Structure formats: C-alpha cells, structure tokens
C-alpha cells in the first residue's frame, strides 16, 4: 500500500504540474488567436479524447510523464489547405510567440503562489528556530552563538522556522561567510553574528545543514529510558528491561550530540557496553545490534526497543497563519525567495560547489511526494509548490528542447530581424536533447544508487 500511495501522490502532483504548465501555453495561444490542434496530458496510447467547438482535440494519454500543446504551424501545412495560415504559431509576431512560450513557466510560478497562499490561509504548523545546544568548538561556537538564541534571519532572509533555516543554509553552499541575526534570551532586538564557512564541509545527501554547523535545534527528544522491547530483539537478548535508564555507551555519556540511536545505528553486529540504572543501582550490559539494511550499500544497527519521548513545549510551537492579503504577500515573497534559491543552486552545479551526485530524479521526487502526502495536506501542497517552482526554472534554462531554448531563439530573431536558420535550430535541438538525456541518466543513476 505504501508503494501505491507514493505512486498515486507522485502521479497526481505530476498531473497538476503538467496541466498548469500546458494550460499557460494554451490560454495565451488562444488569446492571440493561434489555432491549437491538440492539448495532451501524457504520452503514448490515448485513453481519453474530446474535441471542442474550436476543433482542438483534448487528450489524456497512458504515460503521465509529460504533456504538450500542439499549435498550427504554417510551414507544415500543404498549400491547398493553408486556410488557417493566419492562425498559425509561426505567423505571429516575435513578442506574441515570446508570450506564448513564457506562459508555461509563468503558470508554474503562479501555481506556487496560489499553493503557498492556500497553506498560509490554512496555517503551517512549525517550530521556532530556537537553539537547544551548541557543539563545542563548532563553526557556530566560533561565531559566539549559544544555546537559547533564536535565529531570526540569514543574510536578510527571515527564518520563522527550522525548515526555512535549513533551506537558507543549503543555498549558502560555496559561500565564505553568512550574516545571521539571532535573538538572545532576554533581548528585545536581534544581534548580528558572522559565521565563517571556510571550513564548512557539508554533504546535502547525508547531513542536516543545521547540525553540520554545530547547532542542535529544539525538538521533541528521547529520554534514554526503555519503555518497550520487541520480543526476540537484540535489546531483549542483552537483558534490558522496561524502565531501565541507559546512562553510558562504551563509557561515553549520552547527550544531545551522542544519543543512543547514534551508537546503535553505526554498530551493526558490534558489541556495545551499556551502563544502565535499574532500581537505583548501576549495571553493565552488552548489547549487540542486529543488522538492518537501508539500501544495498547502507546497513545500520537495530536494537528493537523504544525510548520514552519528552514532547516539545508549546512555547516552541507556532502556526504560520494569516488573513487573505497577508497570506498572499507571504506567498509571493516565499515563491520569489525559492525562485532565487533555485537559480542559485543551479549555478552551483557549474561552479562545482554542488556535485552531480546530488542531482535527484523522478524516483526521489516520487518518494518526496509520498512522504509529504503522508505528512498531511499542507505539506503535500507545499511540495507541489516547490516542485512547480523548480519545473518553471528548469524550463527557462536555454536548452533548445525546453521553453528557455525557444525563448533564446526568439530573442535572437528579434535582434537579427529574421529567424535562426533551420540548420542551426536542428543542430541545437540534437545537442539539447543529448544533454537532457545525459542529465536524466545521471539523475536516474543517482536515484537507483540511493535505493
């Protein structure tokens, strides 16, 4: 059921994004009187078809991994049937064609604004970015950031919750320093701190950007007190009992930076010496975690018991909820911030600050769709908004097979006063297609390597 739920969440999100994108092209094309032959959602065998009174064929095809709007092209119409030449795409002015092509990505950006407006009206449950602990000698400690401070902004980007903090930090990969405004306990106005990132080595695939700086966020936490043990598990075999308090692992005192799960997960089939407190007395036990396979390349330790959980205090929780106009303002601001971050991250691929191994493909997106949908409607809508922004930005990249490539040709045509030659266009399309296939191949390889 988990697989089919994820698949449905992915296909539905993809369908929404495709329909909105193609609808952008469709609406502007029809506004300029361009004859549209077909509006297709998906590729391959047609499973549903309808023709409207304009003669446009609306189609749903079997493979829901794309879509297209087929407009009349005067250059492929036989002369004797050339009655609709005035309504062909190529017969329109450069600016009209520019508007039609750019309408697709623009529609994706408007979808993101609408989605964020909706969730800000509903309310987004969040956690205030208050620091629980600072790791000794960490990058954050060197910047004189201490426990109890609340992160208010990063390089003038407001950070109302930890998710925004993480996104802001990821966008700073490759920078030498960042300006962070924090609000210490008892202060009224934020204090500016400069964090030096020269020694910041952060892998987006494996690490939390907040933790990598030596910052521990406030969150619901586990008390090292056993509350449940699975039958036949490593915990039961070790002699652990419900109510035991685990104090040390291999003589290391448990703390925020060395929780029990840290030792267990990195020690599959490796004996761990536990110091526990039971009925007021300290005892020593040996726990040998069992092996749990996460992926073909990644195995972690698993002990088979649960710890008591201390819930997060309400003082740390917030709900970002606004009225109609405030929500719209925040939606536009949020979309614009993510657009800038996305462009910035694409640029980091070319500078080498982000590796091609960090590129994600459809499998990762599908997993994200399933996870966000399982987390709740608000998070699923936010996921759709984020992917819509990414889709809009990627489509504006100047590859001939994308909208950005078409726009580049139109700009050149406007400057030269004549269209780019067919030979140049054909060669560009072949190169663009090859590059796109290469990038898709890399992203799929990365996806499979993470399974």
Spell out the residues 6+ positions from residue 315 whose beta carbon is closer than 8 angstroms to its own: none
Give the active site residue among 22, 96, 205, 230: 22
pLDDT at 79: 47
Summarize pLDDT for 5-36 with one digit per residue, the tens: 888 899 899 989 999 999 999 999 999 999 99
Tell me how long the chain is. 451
Is 50 within 8 Å of 38 (Cβ atoms)? no
Summarize pLDDT for 74-111 with one digit per residue, the tens: 555 544 445 566 788 888 999 999 999 999 999 999 99
Q: How would DSSP label each residue in 171-221?
A: TTTT-SEEEEEEE-TT-SS-EEEEEE-TT----TTT--HHHHTTEEE---E
Q: Is residue 42 over pLDDT 60? A: yes
- In sequence order, the β-bridge partners of residue 40 are 59, 68
Q: What are phi and psi of 310, to 5 degrees?
A: -95, 115
Q: For the whole model, what pTM was predicted? A: 0.84
Mean pLDDT for 233-261 is 90
Band of pLDDT at residue 448, cut at 50, 70 and 90: confident
Cα separation, 261 vs 264, whole angstroms:
5
Coil vs helix vs strand at 130: strand
Band of pLDDT at residue 432, cut at 50, 70 and 90: confident
Strands in 294-362 per DSSP E: 299-302, 305-310, 317-320
Is 285 within 8 Å of 305 (Cβ atoms)? no
Q: Which of the two residues, 443 and 109, has the higher pLDDT score?
A: 109
22 in active site: yes
């Amino acid at each position: 059921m988990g697989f089919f739920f994820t698949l449905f969440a992915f296909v539905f999100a993809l369908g929404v994004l495709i329909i909105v994108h193609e609808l952008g092209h469709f609406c502007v094309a029809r506004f300029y009187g361009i004859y549209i032959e077909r509006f297709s959602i998906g590729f391959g065998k047609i499973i549903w078809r309808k023709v409207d009174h304009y003669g446009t064929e609306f189609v749903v095809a079997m493979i829901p991994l794309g879509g297209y709007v087929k407009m009349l092209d005067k250059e492929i119409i036989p002369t004797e049937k050339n009655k609709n030449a005035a309504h062909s795409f190529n017969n329109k002015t450069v600016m009209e064609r520019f508007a039609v092509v750019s309408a697709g990505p623009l529609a994706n950006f408007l979808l993101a604004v609408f989605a964020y407006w909706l969730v800000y009206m509903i309310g987004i449950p969040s956690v205030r970015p208050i620091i629980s602990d600072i790791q000794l000698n960490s990058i954050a400690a060197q910047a004189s950031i201490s426990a109890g401070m609340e992160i208010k902004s990063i390089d003038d980007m407001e950070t109302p919750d930890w998710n925004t903090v993480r996104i802001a930090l990821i966008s700073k990969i490759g920078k030498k320093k960042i300006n962070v405004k924090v609000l210490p306990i008892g202060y009224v106005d934020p204090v500016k701190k400069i964090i030096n990132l020269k020694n910041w080595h952060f892998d987006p695939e494996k690490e939390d950007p907040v933790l990598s700086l030596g910052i521990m966020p406030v969150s619901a936490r586990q008390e090292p007190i056993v509350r449940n043990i699975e039958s036949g598990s490593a915990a039961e075999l070790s002699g652990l009992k419900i109510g035991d308090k685990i104090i040390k692992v291999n003589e290391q005192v448990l703390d925020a930076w060395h929780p029990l799960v840290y030792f267990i997960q990195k020690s599959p089939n490796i004996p761990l010496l536990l110091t526990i407190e039971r009925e007021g007395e300290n005892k020593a036990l040996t726990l040998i975690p069992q092996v749990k396979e996460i992926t073909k390349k990644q195995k972690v330790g698993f002990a088979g018991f649960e710890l008591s959980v201390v819930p997060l205090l309400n003082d740390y929780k917030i709900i970002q909820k606004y009225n109609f106009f405030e929500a719209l303002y925040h939606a536009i601001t949020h979309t614009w911030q993510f657009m800038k971050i996305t462009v910035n991250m694409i640029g980091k691929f070319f500078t080498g600050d982000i590796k091609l191994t960090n590129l994600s493909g459809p499998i990762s997106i599908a997993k994200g769709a399933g996870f966000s949908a399982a987390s709740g409607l608000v998070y699923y809508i936010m996921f759709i908004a984020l992917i819509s922004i990414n889709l809009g930005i990627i489509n504006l990249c100047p590859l001939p097979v994308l909208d950005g490539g078409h726009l580049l040709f139109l700009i050149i045509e406007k400057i030269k006063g004549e269209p780019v030659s067919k030979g140049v266009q054909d060669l560009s399309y072949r190169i663009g297609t090859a590059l796109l296939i290469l990038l898709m191949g890399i992203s799929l390889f990365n996806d499979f390597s993470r399974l």
